[in-house]
Amino acid sequence: MKYRACSVLILAILLAAPARSQNRKNVSERHIALLDTLTSFSQSLVENPRATGIAYVIRSSNETMAAVIDEKIQKDYDAIGLPGITYSPDGGRWAYIAKTGDKVRMVVDGVEQKAYDGIGTSPVFSPDGRRLAYVARVDSTQRVVIDGREEPAYGGIGAIGPVFSGNGKHLAYVVTDSGRSFLVIDGKKGKAYKAIVMSSLALSHDGTRVAYAALEADTLVMVIDHTPRREFQVAESVVPQFSRNGKRLAFTAYKGAMEYLVLDGKAGPLYDRVSDRTMSFSENSRRFGYLAQKGKEWLMVVDGKEEKPYAEIGMGTFSFSPDGAHHAYVAIEGGKRIAVRDGKPGKGYDAIPTGNPVFSPDSRHLYYAARLGGEWHIVSDGRESQPYLSVAPGSFAFGPAPPGKAAAVACVVETGGGVSVDVDGSLGPGYDVILTRKGGKIVFDSADTMHYLAVRGSDVLLISETLSR
């Protein structure tokens, strides 16, 4: 028996609320999917990065499963690997794992690929979406499949699977075979080690450089461009990072109980701890900042200079502006969260969620969501918006700047009348949910037009707005 293609996932994101009157005109709504509670798998919902549709997995009969993409039911299979469908970063392609009998295969853009005894990773798209790779098993061997072409078979391939360079032209993965581990880049095998820390693998954007941690004898060392640097001892948690132009490299190392940063091959000062999860190069590759602990306090070190110490600094909150001239992060002092811009602290709040603060594309303005008491605000260069019930983390979107005007700034907010998109303080229509959590986002099509996905009742809608600015 076939069930209606549907999903319940989104209804759990926020409680339904009555629609509110809109403060903007020229809004169109188009139905793209219908939600239900009977047949879908809650963990499978994913939003197209273009914000034009959704995909999910349903129980199509008592014995079969099917993918649903933009409300079109795909072919039935005995099972589909969950969480389900993977979109390419640009939203133009999609893939999922399907099982028939004792064989599994990748289904790419609706086309079935070769069947294997097993598939060990989710589909991995290159950043530009043009290439696709995954790990397949035949009997007791594994091989990477790239764009439908099989690489040589090995005893085992690292659990993180294949990794593309930023430009999508190069691919690397870790092999474990006959008790040794080695790296394969573009089909070429590197030096064998006792072990390689798979999570440490980093490629430069152009793919011409590589860094990873490897166990040599009984010491974990950083391997840079295929050469082990034995003067630096690193931990299993190390995450090396290349600058955008690939010429610079940063990673953490330790000496006794102390840690330090290695930047451009030079060791920095010793600290009680250095976090490589909170370090970043500017987009122009000229500047660098990282988080360090000194005693009981934490501080950012930017371009080699220590900034004011705080009780805590939010992991992953540090960033440079697009032009590299400014930097910002979230600090915690006296129980309050503070946005720090170029070393200067702002007002204290009860909460500033992950994903904040955010610089505008022209690098002139800083935005973040913040809660004080029971009220949420959008904070722009220190100025607070009207109060909201909530502001969705990571939902900021910026339009292109028209000649002589500032770029529009949009963000998802919740009011007593529902969930809306705030654009420069003006609210759009209210919905039960606006989808921005699993790939969805607000997309500006021009300086004065945008679209996004929303839910009202059981309907998933594509919302298009023309702004009056």
| pLDDT tens track for 404-424 | 888 999 999 999 989 999 999
Residue 193, in any domain of the structure? yes
* The pLDDT of residue 355: 86
* The pLDDT of residue 24: 62
pLDDT tens-digit map of 159-215? 889 999 999 999 999 999 988 999 999 999 999 999 999 999 999 999 999 999 999
> Coil, helix or strand for 319?
strand
Lowest mean pLDDT among 21-35, 77-91, 312-326: 21-35
Task: Please determine, for residue 332, whether its predicted confidence score (pLDDT) is greater than 60.
Answer: yes
Residue 3, in any domain of the structure? no
47 contacts 438 by C-beta, under 8 angstroms: yes
Report the domain count for the chain.
Answer: 1
Query: Between the CA of residue 228 and those of 195, 222, 299, what are the distances in Å?
Result: 13, 6, 31
Average pLDDT on 285-309 reads 98
Q: Quickly state the pLDDT bin for 43 (edges 50, 70, 90).
A: confident
Average pLDDT on 136-163 reads 95
* The pLDDT of residue 338: 98
Task: Please determine, for residue 296, whether its predicted confidence score (pLDDT) is greater than 60.
Answer: yes
* The pLDDT of residue 260: 98
Residues comprising the chain, all counted? 469
* The pLDDT of residue 25: 62
**Virtual torsion, Cα 292, 298, 302, 307, nearest 10 deg:** -150
pLDDT tens-digit map of 76-127? 999 999 999 999 999 999 999 999 999 999 999 999 999 999 999 999 999 9
Give one DSSP letter per residue of 339-405, joined into a string: EEETTEEEEEESB--TT--EE-TTSS-EEEEEEETTEEEEEETTEE-S-BSEE-TT--EEPPPPTTS
Task: Please determine, for residue 392, whether its predicted confidence score (pLDDT) is greater than 80.
Answer: yes
Task: Please determine, for residue 7, whether its predicted confidence score (pLDDT) is greater than 60.
Answer: no
Q: Quickly state the pLDDT bin for 322 (edges 50, 70, 90).
A: very high
Residue 29, in any domain of the structure? no
* The pLDDT of residue 160: 86
Average pLDDT on 44-49 reads 93
* The pLDDT of residue 13: 35
pLDDT tens-digit map of 265-284? 999 999 999 998 899 999 99
Mean pLDDT, the chain, rounded, equals 92
Q: Quickly state the pLDDT bin for 383 (edges 50, 70, 90).
A: very high
* The pLDDT of residue 469: 64
Task: Please determine, for residue 235, whether its predicted confidence score (pLDDT) is greater than 80.
Answer: yes
Cβ within 8 Å of residue 175, ≥6 positions away: 154, 155, 156, 157, 158, 181, 182, 183, 184, 189
- Show the domain range for 209: 118-228
Higher pLDDT, 401 or 282: 282
Residue 196, in any domain of the structure? yes
Task: Please determine, for residue 15, whether its predicted confidence score (pLDDT) is greater than 80.
Answer: no
Residue 219, in any domain of the structure? yes
Give me the CATH number covering residue 172: 2.120.10.30
pLDDT tens-digit map of 437-449? 777 899 999 999 9
Phi-psi region of 257 (alpha: psi -120 to 50; beta: other; left: phi over 0): alpha
Q: Quickly state the pLDDT bin for 20 (edges 50, 70, 90).
A: very low
Q: Quickly state the pLDDT bin for 453 (edges 50, 70, 90).
A: very high
- Of 137, 143, 141, 93, which is closest to residue 115 (Cα–Cα)? 137
Determine the Cα–Cα distance for residues 389 and 375; give it in Å rounded to an integer. 6
* The pLDDT of residue 276: 87
* The pLDDT of residue 34: 85
Q: Which two tokens stand for residue 156?
A: 């085992």
- Of 102, 131, 130, which is closest to residue 119 (Cα–Cα)? 102
Percent of the chain with pLDDT over 70: 94
Residue 191, in any domain of the structure? yes
Q: How far apart are the first and last CA of the chain?
A: 52
Percent of the chain with pLDDT over 90: 84
Determine the Cα–Cα distance for residues 99 and 150; give it in Å rounded to an integer. 20
* The pLDDT of residue 4: 36
Average pLDDT on 43-57 reads 93
Average pLDDT on 309-333 reads 96
- Of 252, 261, 256, 255, which is closest to residue 197 (Cα–Cα)? 252
Residue 18, in any domain of the structure? no
Task: Please determine, for residue 10, whether its predicted confidence score (pLDDT) is greater than 60.
Answer: no
Residue 459, in any domain of the structure? no
